[in-house]
């Protein structure tokens, strides 16, 4: 059942002094998410003592799963407590965040309104966005979709666009609750503070983790994991792999989030809290053949599906930097935090790039000899 529980039960002991503690959470995610050993071929040459994966891709079904649901548990509880009736948020055309928001909102009885960024050519025929990947679930859950061109998105910024649609919803008699891009507010950070405690409970009795690797898109997940690690007193380094923007942008985000929560970063600031690596390759949402090869080899060897926009890029970029400096990582324990996202690739847009990477003869007609008996 979708219970709403007091959040006090989920506040880790080391986080009690922080500000903006949520009142309650809606139970949307399947927790704890699995933790297991994992040996992706791209990390083999580094010589890690162990490699674990935290499966937040399994925090829900394809409609709700991924990292956003831990944030939405808090954001939607807050929206309900404030008497709002519509969740308004923004993202790319294949936004995992918008898809999960639409589904989660409907699950708790709220409407959703999504602003989705489309390519400048696409904008002239918006009836054409289709039902591929994330759009299937968001549209089936009844989200209202407004499109905005990339040009207008970068000209005005996501916050100004949200304010435009917020005013329109209010004028139409709605009570909107505005969720910024990626759901990365200080309130939502509590979702990943609690997730760090969940991980610590799962790790009990195991050797400590020296490195955590996580994809970074709006910065909320990596920041909250790093804050949790710091406050819990661990000596784990958090490596945030940026798939858009710049490391400076994410350090600024981390500093702002820490300030809002009342964490004094003292010496080192955000750079002392986590390490942000550039991992966007040729650009947000664009894949190189090498990145896709990491994704296909990982799936073929381990059975774990990464996505092309976030987790595949994160593993690829981390493997490159670790292989370039193995002396920094040899004999350490590493954890890859899988944040989901494979649904975004389920629209088939990668077919042309993936087909040549599959084993020869993977697909062939079933050979039928003469004389096979008929049914019954």
Ligand X SMILES: *Cc1c(COP(=O)(O)O)cnc(C)c1O
Q: Which of 138, 47, 113, 31 is nearest to 334 (CA)?
A: 47
Residue nearest to ligand X (CB): 341
- Which of 31, 123 has the CB closer to ligand X? 31
Q: Which of 244, 238, 245 is nearest to 270 (CA)?
A: 238
- Which of 42, 342 has the CB closer to ligand X? 342
- Residue 311 sits in the site that holds ligand X (CB under 6 A): yes
In the region spanning residues 96 to 155, those forming contacts with ligand X, defined by CB under 6 A, are 96-97
Which window, 137-145, 193-201, 220-228, 289-297, contacts ligand X (CB under 6 A)? 220-228
Q: Which of 19, 20, 50 is nearest to 36 (CA)?
A: 50
Pairing of strands 50-55, 35-37: antiparallel
Q: Verify cis geometry, omega within 30 degrees of 0, for the bond prior to 32.
A: yes
Which window, 37-45, 219-227, 268-276, 359-367, contacts ligand X (CB under 6 A)? 219-227
Alpha helix locations (H) across the chain?
A: 68-81, 96-107, 134-140, 150-156, 158-171, 186-203, 220-231, 247-261, 269-273, 289-302, 311-324, 351-354
- Which of 53, 169 has the CB closer to ligand X? 53
- For ligand X, which residue of 7, 310, 329, 336 counts as binding (CB under 6 A)? 310
Number of residues that bind ligand X (CB under 6 A): 20
Which window, 14-22, 167-175, 303-311, 328-336, contacts ligand X (CB under 6 A)? 303-311
- Which of 221, 305 has the CB closer to ligand X? 221
User: What count of other Cβ atoms lies within 10 Å of the Cβ of residue 70?
Assistant: 30
Bridge partners, 238 (sequence order): 212
Interface mask toward ligand X for 224-253; x: CB under 6 A: ------------------------------
- Residue 86 sits in the site that holds ligand X (CB under 6 A): no
Residue 96 beta carbon to ligand X: minimum distance, rounded to whole angstroms: 3
Q: Give residue for tokens 């040009």.
A: 151
Identify whether the C-beta of residue 339 lies closer than 8 Å to the C-beta of residue 67.
yes
- For ligand X, which residue of 54, 340, 345, 350 counts as binding (CB under 6 A)? 340
Q: Is 95 an active-site residue?
A: yes
Q: What are phi and psi of 247, to 5 degrees?
A: -55, -40
- Residue 56 sits in the site that holds ligand X (CB under 6 A): no
In the region spanning residues 13 to 52, those forming contacts with ligand X, defined by CB under 6 A, are none
- For ligand X, which residue of 33, 89, 185, 218 counts as binding (CB under 6 A)? 218
- Which of 234, 241 has the CB closer to ligand X? 241
List 95, 112, 184, 308, catalytic entry: 95
Interface mask toward ligand X for 169-198; x: CB under 6 A: -------------x-x--------------
Residue 307 beta carbon to ligand X: minimum distance, rounded to whole angstroms: 6
Identify whether the C-beta of residue 281 lies closer than 8 Å to the C-beta of residue 215.
no
Residues with Cβ within 8 Å of 74's Cβ and at least 6 positions away in sequence, in order, are: 7, 22, 25, 187, 188, 190, 191
Residue 327 beta carbon to ligand X: minimum distance, rounded to whole angstroms: 29
Identify whether the C-beta of residue 250 lies closer than 8 Å to the C-beta of residue 216.
yes
Residue 249 beta carbon to ligand X: minimum distance, rounded to whole angstroms: 11
Q: What is the CA radius of gyration of the chain?
A: 21
- Which of 60, 217 has the CB closer to ligand X? 217
User: What count of other Cβ atoms lies within 10 Å of the Cβ of residue 75?
Assistant: 27
Which window, 76-84, 218-226, 231-239, 277-285, contacts ligand X (CB under 6 A)? 218-226
Give how far Cα 38 sits from Cα of 41, 53, 295, Å. Answer: 10, 6, 14
Identify whether the C-beta of residue 176 lies closer than 8 Å to the C-beta of residue 66.
no
- For ligand X, which residue of 221, 275, 296, 333 counts as binding (CB under 6 A)? 221
Active-site positions read 95
Q: Which residues bind ligand X (CB under 6 A)?
A: 66-67, 96-97, 182, 184, 215-222, 307, 310-311, 339-341
């Amino acid at each position: 059942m979708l219970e709403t529980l007091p959040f006090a039960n989920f506040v880790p002991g080391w986080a009690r002094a922080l500000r903006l503690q949520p009142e309650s959470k809606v139970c949307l995610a399947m927790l704890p998410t699995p933790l297991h050993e994992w040996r992706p071929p791209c990390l083999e040459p580094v010589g890690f003592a162990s490699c674990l994966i935290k499966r937040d891709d399994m925090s829900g079904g394809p409609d709700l799963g991924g990292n956003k649901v831990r944030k939405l548990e808090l954001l939607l509880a807050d929206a309900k407590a404030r008497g709002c009736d519509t969740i308004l948020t923004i993202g790319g055309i294949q936004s995992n965040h918008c898809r999960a928001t639409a589904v989660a909102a409907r699950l708790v009885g709220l409407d959703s309104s999504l602003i989705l960024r489309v390519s400048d050519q696409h904008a002239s025929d918006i009836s054409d966005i289709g039902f591929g990947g994330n759009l299937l679930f968001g549209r089936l859950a009844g989200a209202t979709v407004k499109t905005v061109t990339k040009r207008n998105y970068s000209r005005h910024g996501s916050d100004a666009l949200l304010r435009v649609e917020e005013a329109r919803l209010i004028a139409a008699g709605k009570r909107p609750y505005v969720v910024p891009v990626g759901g990365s507010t200080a309130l939502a950070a509590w979702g990943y503070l609690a997730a760090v405690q969940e991980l610590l409970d799962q790790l009990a009795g195991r050797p400590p983790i020296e490195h955590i690797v996580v994809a970074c898109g709006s910065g909320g997940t990596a920041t909250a994991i790093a804050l949790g690690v710091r406050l819990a007193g661990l000596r784990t380094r958090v490596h945030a792999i940026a798939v858009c923007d710049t490391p400076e942008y994410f350090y600024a985000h981390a500093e702002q989030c820490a300030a809002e929560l009342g964490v004094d970063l003292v010496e080192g600031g955000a750079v002392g809290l986590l390490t942000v690596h550039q991992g966007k390759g040729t650009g947000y949402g664009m894949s190189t053949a090498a990145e896709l090869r990491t994704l296909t080899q990982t799936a073929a060897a381990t059975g774990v599906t990464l996505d092309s926009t976030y987790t595949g890029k994160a593993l690829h970029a981390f493997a490159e930097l670790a292989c370039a400096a193995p002396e920094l990582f040899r004999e350490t324990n590493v954890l890859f935090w899988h944040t989901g996202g494979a649904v975004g690739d389920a629209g088939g847009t990668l077919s042309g790039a993936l087909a040549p990477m599959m084993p020869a003869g993977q697909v062939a007609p079933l050979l039928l000899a003469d004389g096979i008996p008929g049914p019954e």
